[in-house]
Amino acid sequence: MRRTRLGGSRVLTQRIIFVVIALAFVGSGYLIGRYFLASLLQKPNGGEPVSGTPATSSGSTATLQVQTKPVSLYRVQVGAYSTRESADKVAAAVLAKGVGASVATPDPLYKVYCGATASKDAGDKLAAAAKAKLAGSVIGKNDSLYVSSATLASRSFTLSGDKTLAEELQKAFAKADNAVQSLLSFWDALYLGKQNTVDLSAMETDLTAIKDNLAKVTPKGGLSVAHTSATAIVSDLTVAVQGAKAAAGGDASKAAEGASALVAALDTYVVETKKLSP
């Protein structure tokens, strides 16, 4: 009888131990699983979302104002044509001679410009240098390139929608506004043989960062048009800044490409800001 009771007691003890061990494993599994789940869901230090989570919406909306500044400039015109095909042929011939050339949006004629400057003196210098390369081929011996003054009108418009994106767009237009004037100042200094004071590298860094930020989002509603316009403007200005940096090295062919990129960027700036203003 004693042995039987002893055997039964041992069996009971073993069962209790088994149950305790089983519960320990279950509890450990729960804690481990909770730990890993929390690790996956929590945000890393600094408040940034986990990789793969969109960081484009603040959850709140805002209405912000954009006010561009008027810009006075001088453009050196090679010619004006009734068709895009004719303008493109002339632009290609001008570029082949080592002179900048870009076709602007028709108004109603397609005009080919070889550069833009902030001052008349710089425009005249550019025209004289371009004429020496183009005379007798693209233009006649008695022809002269036309230096025309222009003003990029001030534009005012609102950005209504997600607060984070609206603020990014507002910053993009402000940077673009400053870049336009800075690039014109750079080319003035280059054509007049003055020391360049424009920090092209910093400008390129700023524009590239904005372009990359805009590329990460797909806006909805009222900010879609502004997003498309800002992206086009910043992208073309980035190319223009890169062209200016290459021209600063003294390579004539790079200078022609940079001047062409500036004309194209100015055209995009005018067209896109006009779309957004009432």
Overall average pLDDT of the 215-244 stretch: 94
- pLDDT (0 to 100) of residue 58: 58
Distance, in Å, from the CA atom of 187 to the CA atom of 41, rounded to the nearest integer, reads 52
pLDDT tens per residue across span 11-68: 445 555 544 444 444 444 444 444 433 443 343 333 333 333 344 565 799 999 999 9
Residue 41 and residue 108 in one domain = no
- pLDDT (0 to 100) of residue 220: 80
Task: For residue 226, give its domain range.
Answer: 61-276
Angle at CA 122, nearest 5°, toward 249 and 129?
70
Distance, in Å, from the CA atom of 181 to the CA atom of 183, rounded to the nearest integer, reads 6
- pLDDT (0 to 100) of residue 15: 54
Residue 245 and residue 140 in one domain = yes
For residue 164, pLDDT beyond 90: yes
Residue 115 and residue 137 in one domain = yes
| Residue 117 one-letter amino acid | T
Residue 113 and residue 25 in one domain = no
pLDDT tens per residue across span 68-91: 999 999 999 999 999 999 999 999
More confident residue, 112 or 7: 112
Overall average pLDDT of the 118-144 stretch: 87
pTM: 0.78
Distance, in Å, from the CA atom of 243 to the CA atom of 249, rounded to the nearest integer, reads 10
Residue 116 and residue 245 in one domain = yes
| Residue 131 one-letter amino acid | K
Distance, in Å, from the CA atom of 8 to the CA atom of 246, rounded to the nearest integer, reads 93
CB-side exposure of 96: number of CA atoms within 13 Å?
8
What single DSSP character describes residue 139? B
Q: Each residue of 74-89: b (16+ CB within 10 Å) or e? A: bbbbbbbbeeeeebee
